[in-house]
């Protein structure tokens, strides 16, 4: 049985993520201390809320350095804000340093489409993801069908410095917005796999097999 540790910084409801992993037979533990993070077999970081507040909560619990130490050494998945916090910094409200696991910056979603129409923000709902110059073979998304849909809720997105880190994008008014990232054992999803039906469960299952 795969063991998965969810990082809990006191700001998010982990229950849906926990249920999705348990549905696939994983043994789920909740980490609230640095020691639990460092001892984990594989780490999942679901994030909700605002980037500055979430980083402050991690700092208050002494979890930042533990995540930075543990993440490169084991399978690590960031979900939604958890994916954004994998990057170097965010422009949400004030410029805030992130975990720095991947090079890049978190920016507001474009307020206007490529043809000048006003976009609805936050972006909420289902969207199709597609490769962006990177093959999905041997990645977390290898089993994702060409016709797919994943569930998103966000107002900011991650702009990757290294193009090869951007595993998938979705169309937002003609803009190609980061949907998923992967570098070695580090993976991140802007969408919520735990709310994305069978497709999301297949992705979680792929993470359990890394």
CA angle 151, 152, 153 (to 5 degrees): 135
Residue of 123, 189, 194, 205 with catalytic role: 194
Residue of 23, 80, 159, 189 with catalytic role: 80
Residue 154 is among the residues annotated as catalytic for this protein: no
Residue of 123, 189, 192, 205 with catalytic role: 192
Residue 189 is among the residues annotated as catalytic for this protein: no
Tell me how far apart the alpha carbons of residues 32 and 62 are, in angstroms, rounded to a whole number: 9
Tell me how far apart the alpha carbons of residues 111 and 116 are, in angstroms, rounded to a whole number: 9
Q: Do the Cβ atoms of 79 and 196 come closer than 8 Å?
A: no
For residue 198, the tally of other CB atoms under 10 A from its CB is 7
Residue 194 is among the residues annotated as catalytic for this protein: yes
Q: Is 1 exposed, middle or buried, given 0-12, 13-18 or 19+ CB atoms closer than 10 A?
A: exposed
Supply the residues annotated as catalytic: 80, 192, 194
């Amino acid at each position: 049985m795969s063991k998965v540790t969810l990082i809990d910084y006191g700001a998010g409801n982990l229950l849906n993520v926990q249920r999705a992993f348990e549905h696939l037979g994983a043994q789920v533990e909740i980490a609230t201390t640095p020691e639990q993070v460092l001892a984990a077999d594989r780490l999942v970081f679901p994030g909700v809320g605002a980037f500055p507040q979430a980083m402050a909560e991690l700092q208050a619990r002494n979890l930042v350095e533990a995540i930075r130490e543990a993440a490169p050494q084991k399978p690590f998945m960031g979900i939604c804000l958890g994916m954004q916090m994998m990057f170097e910094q965010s422009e949400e409200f004030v410029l805030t340093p992130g975990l720095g696991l991947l090079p890049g910056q978190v920016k507001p979603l474009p307020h206007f489409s490529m043809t000048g129409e006003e976009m609805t923000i936050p972006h909420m709902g289902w969207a199709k993801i597609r490769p962006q110059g990177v093959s999905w073979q041997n990645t977390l998304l290898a089993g994702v069908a060409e016709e797919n849909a994943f569930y998103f809720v966000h107002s900011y997105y991650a702009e990757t410095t290294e193009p090869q880190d951007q595993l998938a994008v979705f169309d937002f008014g003609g803009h190609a917005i980061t949907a998923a990232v992967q570098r070695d054992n580090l993976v991140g999803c802007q969408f919520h796999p735990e709310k994305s039906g069978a497709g999301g469960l297949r992705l979680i299952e792929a993470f359990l097999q890394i």
